[in-house]
Amino acid sequence: MVRFAAHRLGILVLSLVGASVLVFGALTLLPGSPAQVILGTQATPQSVHHLTVQLGLDKPLWQQYFDWLHGMVTGALGTSYVSQLPIGTQIWQALQVTGPLVLLGLVIGLVIAIPLGLFGALLQGRATGAVLGAIGQVGLAVPTFVGGTLLIIVFAVEFHVLPASGFPEWSHPGSALKSLLLPAISLGVVEGGIISRYLRTSVLDLLQSDYLRTARMKGLSMGQALRRHGLRNAMLPLVTVGGLELAGLIVGAIVVENVFTLPGIGTLLLTSVNNRDLLVAQDIVMFVSGTVLVLNLLVDLSYRLLDPRLAGRS
């Protein structure tokens, strides 16, 4: 297990380096000069050049990359070109919205997925099982931004029970949770539909396994056989898909935050790209990329722990 973890950690480091090159290169090649955007269209060439030098954007690209990478590694993320605020502070404030939103969306997704997937498999061939499968397909078919808009129309515009936009800060926890509920549901419905399909397939395979049939022949009920012998095996794909979908939730939150006007990572990223605030955009994209890669590593390690058959493999 230690050798496996070290191997996966080495892959993680190489992946992070590769991601940093892609992130820096892609955002640097965006058209337009940050200095020109900051100063406006009426700025003189001399003032644009002076600000470009002041921001360090006149340096060779390789030097800009290593300066940025050094700041990422040491935690010195620098200062926003536009707002002149510390980038680390801005990202931390945005994470106080995005983090709870993603976790709440994951909880809602699992609450939807587990009964849909489990009972959809156990009731296969019956009308109830078909209905549960159809519900899961609906969750898959509705895009996140469409679902969010529909939720706003129903719960905010028609019934006035939940806010349609904005975030009142965590100094008012009740109001803050209410403002996150609709965006979390729009995230969780889609993720619940995806995870339920994988869980249903896993449970169907489990019901047809030899060891479960043997447990039933020994006198165990279906529930006892599943609890004692089946659930751990059924959890393996759920852990894998759940970890990957958690990464998907982070990316999906970028869209949802703009639909519900939440001051999270997605809104900060979109604003920084529009303002050509490259340093902020690069730090955010690299943070999201690193989070996804770390989640993939944790999924690999947890899968290894859950399945003893993988213990001897590197």
Quote the CA–CA distance of 183 and 151 in Å, as a whole number: 9
Residue with tokens 């955010």: 284
Quote the CA–CA distance of 295 and 19 in Å, as a whole number: 15
Instruction: Give pLDDT, residue 90.
Output: 92
Residue with tokens 């590197």: 314
Domain count, the chain: 1
Which amino acid, one-letter code, is at 3? R
123 domain-assigned: yes
Range of the domain at 196: 95-204+237-274
Strand, helix or coil for residue 161: coil
Residues 6+ apart with CB under 8 A from 301: 4, 5, 8
Instruction: Give pLDDT, residue 230.
Output: 65
The string of pLDDT tens digits covering residues 236-295 is: 667 777 777 777 788 788 888 888 888 999 889 888 888 888 888 889 989 888 888 888
- Measured CA to CA in angstroms, residue 87 lies from 80, 103, 119, 264 at distances of 6, 23, 47, 14
The string of pLDDT tens digits covering residues 202-216 is: 778 777 777 777 777
**Residues facing residue 79 across a β-bridge:** 86
3-state percent breakdown (helix, strand, coil) of the chain, nearest 5: 80, 0, 20
Which amino acid, one-letter code, is at 125? G
Quote the CA–CA distance of 46 and 36 in Å, as a whole number: 11
Instruction: Give pLDDT, residue 92.
Output: 92
114 domain-assigned: yes
Residues 6+ apart with CB under 8 A from 9: 297
The string of pLDDT tens digits covering residues 112-135 is: 888 888 888 778 877 787 777 777
125 domain-assigned: yes
139 domain-assigned: yes
Rounded to an integer, the average pLDDT of 47-72 is 86
Task: Read off the pLDDT band of 97 (50, 70, 90).
Answer: very high
Of all helices (H) and strands (E), which one includes residue 29? none
Instruction: Give pLDDT, residue 100.
Output: 92
* Residue 260: other Cβ atoms inside 10 A: 26
pLDDT(313) > 60:
no
pLDDT(192) > 80:
yes
Residues 6+ apart with CB under 8 A from 45: none
First-to-last C-alpha distance (Å) of the chain: 8
130 domain-assigned: yes
36 domain-assigned: no
**Share above pLDDT 70 across residues of the chain, in percent, rounded to a whole number:** 91
Residue with tokens 């009964």: 115
Do 78 and 67 form a contact (C-beta atoms < 8 A)? no
DSSP character for 79?
Answer: B
Helix 231-259 × helix 278-306 angle, to 10°:
170
Which amino acid, one-letter code, is at 292? V
Do 113 and 191 form a contact (C-beta atoms < 8 A)? yes
pLDDT(308) > 70:
no
List, in sequence order, the alpha helices (H) in 123-172.
127-141, 144-151
**Residues facing residue 86 across a β-bridge:** 79
Residue with tokens 């990359």: 65
Do 51 and 45 form a contact (C-beta atoms < 8 A)? no
Rounded to an integer, the average pLDDT of 105-112 is 88
pLDDT(196) > 70:
yes
Residue with tokens 């996150």: 180
300 domain-assigned: no
pLDDT(314) > 60:
no
Instruction: Give pLDDT, residue 310.
Output: 55
pLDDT(309) > 70:
no
pLDDT(303) > 80:
no
13 domain-assigned: no
Do 248 and 191 form a contact (C-beta atoms < 8 A)? yes
* Integer-rounded Cα radius of gyration of the chain: 24
